[in-house]
């Protein structure tokens, strides 16, 4: 049962263990962070299919490619900056270019890296991976959505990057959510007519809360949860924007290369509309707890509200 | 194949390399020629493969981590009948299935994509672990360059393969002492290379003449008898081996022009004319 206390890393590891029981081709590779991600809990049950390669992410990525070439289904894990930035070329050549079937799990996206600070705070991972052909990029919104989408992620043949918050972000969905989650479909979590807020990750809940506050001022926001940044669900975004004619993007990532860029690419070629963005702007990460970091990088509810008002002014 | 047959096979591989690169007019001649004898031994004798069934389960596999030796790989595969030799003249031409660097999704018989140096040995480690999990008894071969050994990832792979005791992995260093910019020893000295690999818990065999099919064959046969460790066979080779003007080009042989008159000159020398 999923509650507000459920950690997303536990949703991930428990489904992964189920999948390993069902499918003996699934193998897991860690780079000395298994104890942080929780995959160490599976060591005893699957001693032959768990590989901790040590602090060597590049090696891990290419070994995974070799295992995939042998017919296995590798899952590689580490903190997001190390399993993307540190082995970008190995993901590009050994895995993606070679058309291998590898799942990449990167934890602690953006400001969720908190006390590990700037060196561990990935604000560019989506931008880097988005330019590699045929890589699916998924950022879970909450534990409910992740639990529903894990089977689709594991069943997908090819490269899927999961930008996983290890902890328990505020639930956007309840466990009895009657919604057919689809890895490749964005979800309208709140309907509205004045502005479309396209959000991902921890910013979805922020967008919903900002919308509630704006509703009291008579501003009607539609919140589109864009959990999969690549390939982006242009259809759902365009359907919303054709109704509202104004867009605010919200992401826990650099606005350059991430969700904002992906949304703007859709709009500029199909339906140009004014856009304002909430996200990290030309800054490196820094150490701190989430409330401080939200303030430092302007990722708070008030920032979403300000962006909505700004884009509404531009729309007029 | 017996020794004389292996020598003839290596000669044919060299002829194919010259024709292949000659059809484009330029290419990685030196590092392709230096591994021709190794490829003759592997594909002519040591590897469990079936060119008629290139995806045969449990087959031995080769990762040419120094992916720029693609022309050598294509030459041995064509000679073994994986595809028509006529294809060799399409290398590097638009739409070809024979790109300059090995691509497992384009070329029948290529077991792993490589080209960005340092990654192939890690891929071979993955293949070797895969074979061990499947208990299919396959041997995984990998060829790395001496210049390529500058890459840190080679040593990440080395440490993990040693730690995993991957006895089904046989790797070769094409130690021709030359890399693109200069002599290896001048750029980033690898010596003592055998000691390095031994210290990473590998079984190490040094072959005095890495262009002698008999010596290579003996080394591979011996490696297969050593259990509990991955194997590094250091082949002291000559870059450009077999064609005097390529050999004498030295550092310049990494990638060099091969116009039609040079092709003719090379083929005459290889045929002993």
* Tens of pLDDT, residues A272-290: 999 999 999 999 999 999 9
Chain A, window 73-92: residues with a beta carbon less than 8 angstroms from a chain B beta carbon: 74, 89-90, 92
Computed on alpha carbons and rounded to an integer, the radius of gyration of chain B in Å comes to: 17
Hey, are the CB atoms on A62 and B126 less than 8 Å from each other?
A: yes
Domains of chain B (ranges; CATH) run 3-271 (3.40.50.970)
Query: Chain B residue closest to A48 (CA)?
Result: B133
- Section B40-56 average pLDDT: 98
Hey, are the CB atoms on A62 and B119 less than 8 Å from each other?
A: yes
For residue A221, the distance in angstroms to the closest alpha carbon of chain B comes to 47
Computed on alpha carbons and rounded to an integer, the radius of gyration of chain A in Å comes to: 19
φ, ψ for residue B51, nearest 5 deg: -55, -25
- Section B60-75 average pLDDT: 97
What is the predicted pLDDT for the residue at B162? 98
Closest CA to A281 of A124, A125, A163: A124
Hey, are the CB atoms on A66 and B131 less than 8 Å from each other?
A: no
Averages of pLDDT over runs of 10 residues in chain A (316 residues) are 97 98 98 98 98 98 98 98 98 98 98 97 98 98 98 98 98 94 98 98 98 98 98 98 98 98 98 98 97 98 98 94
B205 DSSP 8-state letter: E
pTM of the predicted structure, to 2 decimals: 0.97
What are B187's two structure tokens?
């750029």
Hey, are the CB atoms on A66 and B160 less than 8 Å from each other?
A: no
CA B48/CA B45 separation, integer angstroms = 8
* Percentage above 70 pLDDT, chain A: 100
What is the predicted pLDDT for the residue at A316? 80
Across the interface, of B115, B116, B127, the residue whose CB is closest to A66 is B127
Residue owning tokens 């292996």: B6
For residue A149, the distance in angstroms to the closest alpha carbon of chain B comes to 28
Q: Is B113 on the interface with A (CB under 8 A)?
A: yes
User: Which residue(s) pair with B172 in the sheet?
Assistant: B143, B233
Domains of chain A (ranges; CATH) run 8-164 (3.40.50.970), 187-315 (3.40.50.920)
What is the predicted pLDDT for the residue at A143? 98
Confidence band, pLDDT 50/70/90 cuts, at residue B152: very high
Across the interface, of B104, B113, B122, the residue whose CB is closest to A59 is B122
CA A53/CA A30 separation, integer angstroms = 6
Q: Pairing state of beta strands A135-138 and A159-164?
A: parallel
What is the predicted pLDDT for the residue at A240? 98
CA B192/CA B111 separation, integer angstroms = 31
φ, ψ for residue B102, nearest 5 deg: -60, 135
Hey, are the CB atoms on B126 and A68 less than 8 Å from each other?
A: yes
Residue B267 CA: distances (Å) to CA of A221, B28, B98? 75, 17, 22
What is the predicted pLDDT for the residue at B240? 97
Name every residue whose Cβ is closer than 8 Å to that of residue A88 and which is 6 or more positions away in sequence: A128
- Section B81-100 average pLDDT: 97
φ, ψ for residue A136, nearest 5 deg: -85, 135
What is the predicted pLDDT for the residue at A281? 97
Chain B, window 131-190: residues with a beta carbon less than 8 angstroms from a chain A beta carbon: 131, 133-134, 152-153, 156-157, 159-160
- Section B22-42 average pLDDT: 97
Q: Pairing state of beta strands A135-138 and A187-190?
A: unpaired
Closest CA to B120 of B70, B49, B85, B45: B70
* Tens of pLDDT, residues A139-182: 999 999 999 999 999 999 999 999 999 999 999 999 998 999 99
Instruction: Specify whether the CB–CB gap between A82 and A30 falls below 8 A.
Output: no
Q: Pairing state of beta strands A187-190 and A221-225?
A: antiparallel
For residue A33, the distance in angstroms to the closest alpha carbon of chain B comes to 16
Element (H, E) at B156: helix B152-163
Across the interface, of B116, B130, B156, the residue whose CB is closest to A66 is B130
């Amino acid at each position: 049962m999923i509650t507000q206390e459920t950690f997303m890393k536990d949703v991930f590891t428990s489904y992964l263990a189920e999948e390993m029981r069902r499918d003996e081709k699934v193998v897991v590779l860690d780079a000395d962070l298994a104890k942080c991600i929780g995959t160490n809990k599976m060591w005893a049950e699957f001693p032959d299919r768990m590989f901790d390669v040590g602090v060597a992410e590049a090696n891990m990525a290419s070994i995974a490619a070799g295992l995939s070439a042998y017919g296995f289904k590798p899952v590689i894990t580490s903190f997001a900056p190390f399993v993307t930035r540190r082995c970008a070329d190995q993901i590009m050549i050994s895995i993606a270019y070679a058309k291998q079937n590898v799942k990449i799990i990167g934890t602690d996206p953006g400001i969720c890296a908190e006390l590990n600070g700037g060196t561990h705070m990935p604000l560019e991972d989506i931008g880097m991976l988005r330019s590699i052909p045929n890589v699916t990029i998924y950022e879970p919104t909450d534990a409910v959505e992740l639990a529903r989408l894990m089977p689709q992620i594991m069943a997908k043949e090819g490269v899927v990057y999961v930008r996983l918050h290890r902890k328990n972000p505020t639930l956007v969905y309840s466990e009895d959510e009657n919604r057919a989650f689809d890895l490749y479909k964005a979800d309208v979590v709140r309907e509205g007519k004045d502005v479309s807020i396209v959000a991902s990750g921890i910013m979805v809940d922020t967008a919903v809360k900002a919308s509630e506050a704006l509703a009291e001022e008579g501003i009607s926001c539609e919140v589109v949860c864009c959990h999969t940044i690549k390939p982006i669900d242009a259809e759902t975004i365009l359907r919303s924007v054709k109704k509202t004619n104004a867009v605010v993007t919200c992401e826990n990532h650099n606005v350059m290369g991430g969700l904002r860029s992906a949304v703007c690419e859709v709009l500029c070629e199909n339906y140009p509309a004014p856009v304002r963005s909430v996200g990290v702007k030309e800054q490196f990460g820094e150490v701190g707890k989430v409330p401080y970091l939200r303030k430092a990088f302007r990722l708070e509810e008030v920032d979403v509200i300000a962006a909505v008002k700004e884009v509404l002014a531009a729309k007029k | 194949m017996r020794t004389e047959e292996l020598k003839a096979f290596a000669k044919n591989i060299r002829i194919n390399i010259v024709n292949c690169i000659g059809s484009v007019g330029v290419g990685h001649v030196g590092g392709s020629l230096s591994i021709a004898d190794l490829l003759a031994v592997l594909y002519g004798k040591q590897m469990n493969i079936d060119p008629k069934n290139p995806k045969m389960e449990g087959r031995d596999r080769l990762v040419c981590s120094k992916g720029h030796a693609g022309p050598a790989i294509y030459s041995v595969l064509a000679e073994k009948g994986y595809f028509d030799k006529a294809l060799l003249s399409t290398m590097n031409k638009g739409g070809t299935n024979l790109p300059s660097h090995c691509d497992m999704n384009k070329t029948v018989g290529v077991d792993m994509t490589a080209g960005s140096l340092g990654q192939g040995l890690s891929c071979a480690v993955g293949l070797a672990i895969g074979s061990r999990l499947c208990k299919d008894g396959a041997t995984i071969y990998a060829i790395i360059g001496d210049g390529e050994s500058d890459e840190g990832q080679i040593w990440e792979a080395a440490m993990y393969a040693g730690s995993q005791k991957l006895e089904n992995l046989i790797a070769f260093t094409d130690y021709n002492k030359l890399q693109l910019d200069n002599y290896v020893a001048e750029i980033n000295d690898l010596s003592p290379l055998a000691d390095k690999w031994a210290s990473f818990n590998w079984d190490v065999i040094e072959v005095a003449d890495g262009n002698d099919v008999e010596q290579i064959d003996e080394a591979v046969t011996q490696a297969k008898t050593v259990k509990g460790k991955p194997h590094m066979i250091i082949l002291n080779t000559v870059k450009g081996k077999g064609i005097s003007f390529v050999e004498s080009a030295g550092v310049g042989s990494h990638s060099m022009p091969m116009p039609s008159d040079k092709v003719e000159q090379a083929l005459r020398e290889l045929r002993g004319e």
